[in-house]
Structure 1
Amino acid sequence: MSALSLVALEMHLSDRDIRVLDDLERFRFLTTRQLQRLHLPAAPLGSHATVSSATRGTTRILNRLEQLGVIGRLARRIGGIKHGSALIVWQLGPAGDRFLRARRGDPKRRRYEEPGRTFLSHTLAVADAAVNLIEQASAGRFELLELELEPACWRTFTSGSSTAISLKPDLLVVTADAHTETHSFVEIDRGTEHLPAVLRKCRIYQRYAATGIEQEKRSLFPAVVWVVPDPLRAARIRSAVDADAHLASELFWIITTDSMNRQLAPYPTPVNT
């Protein structure tokens, strides 16, 4: 993208348009509904009287950005075609990628491809959890001090050897009110991972906690919160963690989606399913 075309494109983009591009780069993929919740919230958080009118406004913005080539829609639509435009999935387009990189002087180009269904479903579930936290903070229920998505929330460390170990949470969340802060590593579980894989990741968390790296920075180690789809899955993971002699079970909280706000909010008493 030449300097002239960059200037020309910037003249067509509002501040809100650029925030949409920033979010698509940060989250990788977002649905129309998620973008509406982030950028055109309905009353009482926003100026649109209804979700329907906010969705129509969001769709107009996204269609215009698509025409400019800065965003693109995926061929796959979550939930099926009958669910309408709210569940169209969007990602940053080539022009949008070049535009954002040029603004910050970043020469590294990112590849944007059609993802697999499992990866896309998980990425959108993580995004939905993050969007929900942003909405809660916007409503004044708590302050959202930190919200790191992957790869910003990933950690690399060594433990007992020179081999680097990678810990890859889905989210790092820090919320606060006037009295307390809650720090959480969040794992969004879709019920597709076998229990041995879940336990392996729990052991990596415990090995990382043993290094003291996070505690030196925060004076605590964040709770590890597994957000699972239903109580049966929660019970199975809880039982497996408790039965593993190598795990400190108090480090891990296994909750269902409807308990997520209470667990991640700055309340001193955790809610465990």
Structure 2
Amino acid sequence: MTPRTPYKIGDLLLHLTDRDLRVLEDLEQFRLLDTRLIQRLEFPVGPQPDGRPGFATQATATRLTLRVLHRLEEHGVIARVGRRVGGKGHGSGQTAWQLAAAGERLLRARRGETGRRRYVDPGAGFLAHTLEVARYAATLHEKARSDGFEILELQAEPASWRSFQVAQGGALTLKPDLAIVTADAESETHSFVEIDRDTEHLPAVLRKSGLYQRYWESGTEQANQDGLFPAIVWVAPDQQRADKIRCAITEDRALDARLFHATTAEPSLSVVAPYTSPNPKGGSL
């Protein structure tokens, strides 16, 4: 395929709406999204507190989502991932989407950036985890709209990564699934979120928790945030797994358990939301 010239990118922009561009930016941020997630993020149902109109029914929102996605696919700015999203609760008919090369070039050109990202068909494990992270983010957006707080920052990988120096002089990189800052009129809450799918043995969870602790000990985040260090929130698929993570961290003498929360998705939202959110805190170690 011949690369698009700046003129062709400019011409393509004439065919895209602001919402089209938000869809492209969502795909850039999360790397992969399925149709349902795009609908939740950009085609919400019901009245929206932020003033954006919502759709009357789920069916109407889904139809328009599909219409927009098919149009963006025809323009060559998004592409279907080469496997369908299956599994309990997600439906074998869900399509996963990613930016196409033209879509990435278009977003880079709008920001005045150069470079190019190489796209490959993701493996099943990467696809499932990436979509689970995006589902959590979509749920947080919905909670923010319903409870009336703001999401000041929501960074997914690799924007969420933190590089730091350890005492011995080496460089390490911490890779949270999400780095989140929420706020209301009275408070601001910072969190690192790890989405656990119960596919890793507990020693791997403890190693990642140990890296978080080394980052805390380095003082790098605190130096950039007026002494504040985010809560570290492990989000497990069920309560049994959350309890196992909580116990493993508590029993590890090398870890300061006060840094960590381990819970399931719904109660974790109260930890990530501002402290003055209507819902009480829950799920802490």
CA distance in structure 2 between the aligned counterparts of 1:41 and 1:51, rounded to whole angstroms:
8
Give the TM-score taking structure 2 as reference length. Answer: 0.90
Structure 1 segments, 4+ long, off by >6 Å, are none
Number of the residue aligned with 2:46: 43
CA contact (8 A) 2:243 2:263 kept: no
Number of the residue aligned with 2:155: 148
* Cα shift readout 1:220-254 (whole Å, capped 9, x = no counterpart): 11110000001111111111111111100111100
Number of the residue aligned with 2:19: 16
Equivalent position amino acid for 1:54 in 2: A
State the secondary structure of the residue aligned to 1:145: strand
Please show how residues 110-149 of structure 1 align to structure 2 within 5 Å. Answer: 110-149=117-156
Q: Give the count of matched residue pairs.
A: 272
**RMSD between aligned alpha carbons?**
1.8
Number of the residue aligned with 1:255: 263
Please show how residues 198-209 of structure 1 align to structure 2 within 5 Å. Answer: 198-209=205-216
Number of the residue aligned with 1:59: 66
Structure 1 gaps of 5+ residues are: none
Number of the residue aligned with 2:281: 270
State the secondary structure of the residue aligned to 1:74: strand
Identity of aligned residues (%): 52
1:34 aligns with 2:41: no
Structure 2 gaps of 5+ residues are: none
Give the TM-score taking structure 1 as reference length. Answer: 0.94
Number of the residue aligned with 1:172: 179
CA distance in structure 2 between the aligned counterparts of 1:114 and 1:30, rounded to whole angstroms:
13
CA distance in structure 2 between the aligned counterparts of 1:97 and 1:266, rounded to whole angstroms:
33
Number of the residue aligned with 1:100: 107
Measured after TM superposition, the shift of residue 53 of structure 1 is 0.6
Higher helix share: 1
